[in-house]
């Protein structure tokens, strides 16, 4: 099973709302990622969690707040977003790479949450 | 210069054609190479993974890596309309994950492919 699930599939929110995106995987992966993807662009890395600890924050504005409550779940809390934050938000997971060349570097993506900020 | 360059297309081919998709890169530290397929409004789906140089085949798909030229390719044989999608190359450097920090992929911009009946 290489499935990463994300909810909701679609989300419309106003600039004063607070909402959360959820991601779940049961592959035993201990690295999880949030990406933002705009139309006709590649995914842009936002955050990386490794062993449930935040290891990378790619200078993302504080209106995006990630959380990793356990090894299977990843949340992204949204507050006071701007219209330019409208995008497809993708979650991914992988094994924690050890440099062995055995494919641990491959990331498996969820279907994404399409977010529209009005 | 971007770290990874990929022709954005769009690329239009007839059904049954052999498709060649390519990426060039500048970072000689990249050792892990992936191809993802992304249908419109969906998440990327892993197609192929290659470590270091060489070829890898999986059904109608063949991935090639030439590290001396910093060039990777994905070939699709007997292309089908269902192959119509955006194809993203992605790569990462050895050792990035050894500090327990997960793995940072560098993506190409994606090539939009349309296979026509």
Q: Which two tokens stand for residue A18?
A: 């607070």
| Residues of chain A neighbouring B102 (CB-CB closer than 8 A) | 31-33, 48-50, 55-56, 94, 96-97
A31 in reach of chain B (CB within 8 A)? yes
Below-50 pLDDT ranges, chain A: none
| Residues of chain A neighbouring B29 (CB-CB closer than 8 A) | none
CB-based contact B31 A106, cutoff 8 Å: no
| Cα separation, B112 vs B40, whole angstroms | 10
Three-state DSSP class for residue B1:
coil
* pLDDT tens, position by position, A69-100: 999 999 999 999 999 999 999 999 988 766 66
Q: How far is the alpha carbon of B82 from chain A, nearest alpha carbon, in Å?
A: 18
* pLDDT tens, position by position, B3-14: 999 988 899 999
Which among B14, B68, B4 has a CA at the least distance from the CA of B36? B4
Q: How many CB atoms lie within 10 A of CB B54?
A: 12
State how beta strands A53-57 and A44-50 pair: antiparallel
Instruction: Please tell me which of the candidates A42, A99, A114 has its beta carbon nearest to residue B109.
Output: A42
Q: Is the pLDDT of residue B102 over 80?
A: no
Report the chain B residue with the minimal C-alpha distance to residue A102.
Answer: B51
C-beta of residue A19 within 8 angstroms of C-beta of residue A76: no
| Cα separation, B6 vs B25, whole angstroms | 9
| Cα separation, B24 vs B45, whole angstroms | 21
State how beta strands A113-117 and A10-13 pair: parallel
Percent of chain A with pLDDT over 70: 92
CB-based contact B97 A49, cutoff 8 Å: no
Q: Is the pLDDT of residue B98 over 50?
A: no
Q: Is the pLDDT of residue B75 over 90?
A: yes
Percent of chain B with pLDDT over 90: 73
| Cα separation, B97 vs A69, whole angstroms | 22
Mean pLDDT of chain A: 91
| Cα separation, B24 vs B108, whole angstroms | 9
């Amino acid at each position: 099973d290489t499935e990463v699930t994300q909810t909701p599939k679609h989300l419309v929110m106003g600039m004063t709302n607070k909402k959360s995106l959820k991601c779940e995987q049961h592959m035993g992966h201990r690295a999880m990622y949030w990406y933002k993807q705009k139309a006709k662009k590649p995914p842009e890395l936002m955050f990386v969690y490794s062993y449930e600890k935040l290891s990378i924050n790619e200078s993302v504005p504080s209106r995006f707040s990630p959380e990793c409550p356990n090894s299977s779940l990843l949340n992204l809390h949204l507050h006071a977003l701007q219209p330019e934050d409208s995008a497809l938000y993708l979650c991914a997971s992988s094994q924690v790479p050890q440099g062995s060349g055995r494919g641990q570097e491959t990331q498996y993506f969820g279907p994404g949450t399409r977010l529209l900020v009005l | 210069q971007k770290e990874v360059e990929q022709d954005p297309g769009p690329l239009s081919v007839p059904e049954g054609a052999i498709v060649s998709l390519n990426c060039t890169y500048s970072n000689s530290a990249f050792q892990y190479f992936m191809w993802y397929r992304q249908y419109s409004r969906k998440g990327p789906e892993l197609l192929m993974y290659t470590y270091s140089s060489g070829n890898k085949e999986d059904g109608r798909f063949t991935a090639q890596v030439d590290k001396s030229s910093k060039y990777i390719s994905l070939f699709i044989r007997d292309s089908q309309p269902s192959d119509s999608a955006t194809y993203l190359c992605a790569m990462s450097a050895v050792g990035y994950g050894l500090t327990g920090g997960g793995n940072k992929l560098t993506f190409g911009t994606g090539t939009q492919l349309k296979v026509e009946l």
